[in-house]
A and B are shown apart, each in its own frame.
Chain A
Amino acid sequence: MVTSATNFSRTGLSDWLVQRVSAVILLAYSAFIFGIFLVNPDLDYAQWSTLFDSTAVRIFSLISLLALCGHAWIGMWTVATDYLTSLQLGASATAVRLLFQIGCALLITVYLLWGIQIFWGS
């Protein structure tokens, strides 16, 4: 069995499922947002702000944000383990990949916390 310490989930099956499920959630959320723009062509700030005052929309947004973060992490991990390997980069590969993944993890965490603050902050 081939595993990698930098993968959080350990199995390819759960990665694969998370990737599919999060994609569906993101699709639904995008459809929701675009739907709102379509139904209200002249949306103003007040309407937009009331919309995001509702708990249901906030929960939907939070779930989508989590889906986005999970999706991004798995995607970037996969890209890193395809292209930032010793086969492509030689001896420095592990260091480069680790740095890249720390960067990704940091960025994703920042976006997550920032997103939560935007959706749930007053």
Chain B
Amino acid sequence: MLVSIYRYNPETDLKPAMVDIEVDVPADRDLMVLDVLNLAKEKDTTIAYRRSCREGVCGSDGMNINGVNGLACITPISSVVKPGKKLVLRPLPGLPVVRDLVVDMSMFYKQFEKVKPYLINATPAPAIERLQSPEDREKLDGLYECILCACCTTSCPSFWWNPDKFIGPAGLLQAYRFLADSRDTAASERLAGLEDPFSVFRCRGIMNCVAVCPKGLNPTRAIGHIRSMLIEQSV
């Protein structure tokens, strides 16, 4: 199988290039994209990419696979490449490339940090733990599962245009995760930090984020909830 990989080493290359490499894949098995990449690396050990868990849990191998963001380790090649066609691997769009498929995630993390992704509760902590009813706990389903792979945020045009101002789907999903938590008492401060024209309102409902999330989460819906909370709070 022919694999086309985005290669760029800022220290030695003037500009990035797509480099083709022929990889022998077993005909009887459907490999994951990461397996193919590992085979390619056996041929050319200088290819750089991140991976760790190889089972869709750590979120480190988010990349652009034949034009669509996804986790290489849980994306079967059959789902992205038609037989006889090339597998095309590029780094996540919209972030600076450190090398080959490795991007600098600083901006992504900065936006995540902005939403204060931790529980804020000013009341004295109980002896053991803060309890939550099963119904309240259920409200966090579809939110807490995010592994911060950045597939969603880097597929969002609003983030491409304003990466320093628009929090992006991943950050906003987490913003809502804490807004929806019955144990958190900082909802109004959280909302006050989100009502400007960029942080939340740059979302245009394009829904690229929903289309690519490897965990099947729905940031657009969470953004809608935040918007409703902002409206409710101000009328």
Contact = CB atoms under 8 A, between A and B. Distances in A.
Interface stretch (A5-13, A48-56, A61-69): A5-13
Contacts of B184: none
Interface residues of A, number: 19
B165 A2 contact: yes
Interface in B157-174: 158, 161-163, 165
B200 interface: yes
Given A1-B193, A1-B196, A2-B196, A15 B201 contact: yes
B234 interface: yes
A17 interface: yes
Contact of B161 (A3, A4, A87): A87
A43 B198 CA distance: 47
A83 B163 CA distance: 12
Which size class do B's interface residues fall under?
10 to 19
Nearest to A83: B161
Main secondary structure of the interface of B (DSSP, over half): loop
Contacts of A81: 162, 197-198
Nearest to A74: B197
B197 A12 contact: yes
Contacts of A15: 197, 201
A4 B162 CA distance: 13
A16 to B, nearest CB: 5
A13 B161 contact: no
A7 B162 contact: no
Interface of B: 158, 161-163, 165, 192-193, 195-202, 227, 230-231, 234
